[in-house]
Amino acid sequence: MSLENEKGRPAPDGQEGKFTLVQNNDSPSLADLQALCSPFAPYAGLKCWVPWTLIQKSGKAKAGKVPHNGQHGLSTNDPSDWCTLPEALATASEWGLSGVGIVLTGGITVDNQRLVGLDFDDVGEAFELPFSTYSERSPSGKGVRAFVTVPAEWAASRQDNGRGHYPNCDHCEVYLGSGGRFLTVTGDAIESRPFAELKGSDLSRLDALLKKAEKIPAAVSMPSSDQAGAVIDLNAYPLTNEHRALIEGKIPQGQRSEVFASLILMLAENGASKADVYATCMQTPGLLEYLSKHPGKEEQFAQDEIDRLFGKAVTPRLGEICEAFKNHFPPTAAENTSTIPDDYFEDIGAEEAKPVGWLIRSYFEANAVMLMFGPYGCFKTFIALDVAVSVATGLPWHGHAVSRSGTVIYLCGEGKNNIRRRVSGLCRERNLDMKTLKIKLVRITQDLTDEQCTARLKAAIGTLSEPPALIIVDTLARHFGSGNENATEDMNRFINHIDHVRGEASVLIVHHSGHEKPDRPRGASSLPSGMDAIYQIKREEKGQCTRLHAAKMKDAQYPPDLFLQTKIVNLPFEEEDGTPATTVVLEDSEDQRAVRQEVLYQRYPDLKSRKSYLPQLLEKIHDNPGTGQVKLAALVGKSPDTINTVVKLLKGYGLMDARWLTQAGIDAAAALLPHRADIIFTALKGASQGIRFMQNETE
């Protein structure tokens, strides 16, 4: 028998060959899980699975397959070590284990059908399966695994055979649960079909490969017999103290019903069959004593209770399992980890440490993922657009130099016309042509929790003539799809997709504050943990201004708070009713101007004692370049000696050169003369280091 895929039989992903969880330690995709779960669907939600790894044992030529969770070994005889299939896959991926396996210990019975695993080692070319059923390659690729189901009553009279003989293979092993055993499951299907339900002659062929049980209980159907199925070793299950007390007959009448129900549910959810649970109830004195409260009807009462409680034991449907798995592992392209590259590690001294890279000096870092949050109505979007226009044009942002200008991508979740109105107002205020702005609006709301949507966005960004300098997501909620903001898995997937899309661009995410905790962003704690910088926006009611507070910075010092106030700007059109169209822009508030003036005097301390007339003097020097000191003294109303002293200070600080202001002097004048828009614009357009004095920094 060839172990290659049948020609013309495509794998779930359209390629020949299945997923390679075992061989390459890769995380399987959702399609792979569906392919694996299709035959295993009735068992995937049961706690009968374990992850495993290869461990070389002393004196053994081959490494052994050992149930393991990445931290310690697992027992095939202790149900508390077992888990569901999605949980086993999650653990295997998280810890880089070899794969997953199904534990057959005690038997796995669904709808009165016992699962049987067949393991054929070192098969030859002429090998053929004894049954037409689901089969897959073993982890080594040299063997074949197959699974079938048989009637539970039939299985109860048979035992596992760990060393059987079968044509064209070294040996075969057949397991139906009489001993402690697990079989690895690879999903590398040879025959992808349902498990065969053996009957008649097929049972006879399987019988030849099995051992007869040493003690064969009477094979009769419930409830007519006092024995049906095999007695369960209850100590092999996760019993509570109440369960043990019930089994030992130590719980008085009137208090046993709830404990009995809990025990049966636990057995059902851990893979025990109805027949085995029935036999255990009828042959365990403490449980039989509980059933005897219905004299003469113990058997019927036991069957009715077992049927009722098994109906409450939930086995997840395949779709639910796949969805749970999808939340654990969004499908990603498989990476080959079979070989470790030479440059896997790097010496910490291989490169020199570098200074902080800025998008906008002192406030927004380059190549960073940032969050800006606040309550409704605090002008978050206005601030985001203000930043976007500065980055797109290279013009300073409220006096702070733009270090990296370029294209801005704006993911607008709602109100695209409102966005255009606000940007139009910014352009009119700054004398810019809106048509030349390097700002790209994304027309369609993006679900950034969805991998395919994220991939399309990344591909679209790749078509631009230059990579973006900034990506703005406004708001997180509008780009979160059907995800749950409070779920760590969903939030981590959102952050990972942001990192996948952005390349070396900075990302600014606009988000809402929590309802009960307004001083923190809404949603899972993994959101602020995953950000490089966080800015809290508050509406200062007393000052009638908006405050930007840096709550987290990746590498840089925390900048002082920034205070902004709104200014109404007329738009170049009228509303439908003929009234003037307006919007608002943000400008420095009185608080911010006071901060900047204080920064100025901290930088040039000898000028602070002249603050009563310094603004007027700088204004006269700006408006009358080349004017002598005597005339300046007359214009300001001070003595020539006083003006001479101040002019020397201005020249010493580099604010004045001969008889006119330097760029740094113009910047100083802009800070002290908020009513002179022409001086402010001259300062903003200046490209010298002098503009830094307008920043909120004291270095």
Residue-wise pLDDT for 274-330, tens only, equals 888 888 888 888 888 888 877 778 888 888 888 888 876 644 344 455 555 555 555
Listed in sequence order, the residues at least 6 apart from 474 whose beta carbon sits closer than 8 Å to its beta carbon are: 380, 381, 384, 410, 411, 412, 413, 510
The DSSP string of 555-612 is SSPPPPPEEEEEEEEEEEEE-TTSPEEEEEEEEE-HHHHHHHHHHHHHHSGGGGGGTT
Which residue did the predictor score with more confidence, 6 or 122? 122
At 422, the pLDDT band (50, 70, 90 cuts) reads very high
Residue-wise pLDDT for 429-456, tens only, equals 999 999 999 999 997 888 999 988 898 8
CATH of domain 358-588: 3.40.50.300
What share of the chain has pLDDT > 70, as a percent?
A: 82
Which residue did the predictor score with more confidence, 698 or 558? 558
Letter string b/e over residues 250-267, b meaning 16 or more CB atoms within 10 A of that residue's CB: ebeeeebeebbeebbebb
Residue-wise pLDDT for 575-612, tens only, equals 888 899 999 999 877 666 676 787 788 889 999 899 88
Average pLDDT (351-359) is: 89
Residue-wise pLDDT for 138-177, tens only, equals 988 899 999 999 999 898 888 888 778 888 888 899 999 8
Residue-wise pLDDT for 374-419, tens only, equals 998 889 999 999 999 999 999 999 888 999 999 999 998 876 788 9
Question: Which phi and psi (to 5°) does residue 609 adopt?
Answer: -70, -10
- How high is the mean pLDDT of the chain? 81
At 530, the pLDDT band (50, 70, 90 cuts) reads very high
pLDDT for residue 57:
59
Average pLDDT (80-91) is: 89
Other C-beta atoms lying within 10 Å of the C-beta of residue 51: 24
pLDDT for residue 313:
64
pLDDT for residue 681:
65
pLDDT for residue 30:
41
Eight-class DSSP state of 435: G
Average pLDDT (360-383) is: 93
Strand partners, 184: 101
Residue-wise pLDDT for 253-286, tens only, equals 667 888 888 898 888 877 788 888 888 888 888 8
Residue-wise pLDDT for 225-252, tens only, equals 333 477 888 887 888 888 888 888 887 7
Least confident of 153-167, 337-351, 366-380, 502-516: 337-351
pLDDT for residue 312:
67
Residue-wise pLDDT for 453-488, tens only, equals 898 899 999 999 999 999 999 989 999 988 899 899
At 24, the pLDDT band (50, 70, 90 cuts) reads very low
**Range among 54-58, 96-100, 390-394 with highest mean pLDDT value:** 390-394
At 222, the pLDDT band (50, 70, 90 cuts) reads very low
Average pLDDT (75-96) is: 87
Whether residue 509 has pLDDT greater than 90? yes
Is residue 473 packed enough to be buried (19+ CB in 10 Å), middle (13-18) or exposed (0-12)?
buried
Whether residue 647 has pLDDT greater than 60? yes
Residue-wise pLDDT for 104-120, tens only, equals 988 999 888 999 999 99
**Integer Cα distance of 542 and 544 in angstroms:** 6
Q: What percent of the chain is helix, strand and coil (3-state, nearest 5)? A: 35, 20, 45
pLDDT for residue 188:
85
Whether residue 677 has pLDDT greater than 80? no
pLDDT for residue 531:
95
Domain 606-694: which topology?
Arc Repressor Mutant, subunit A (1.10.10)
Whether residue 200 has pLDDT greater than 70? yes
pLDDT for residue 64:
80
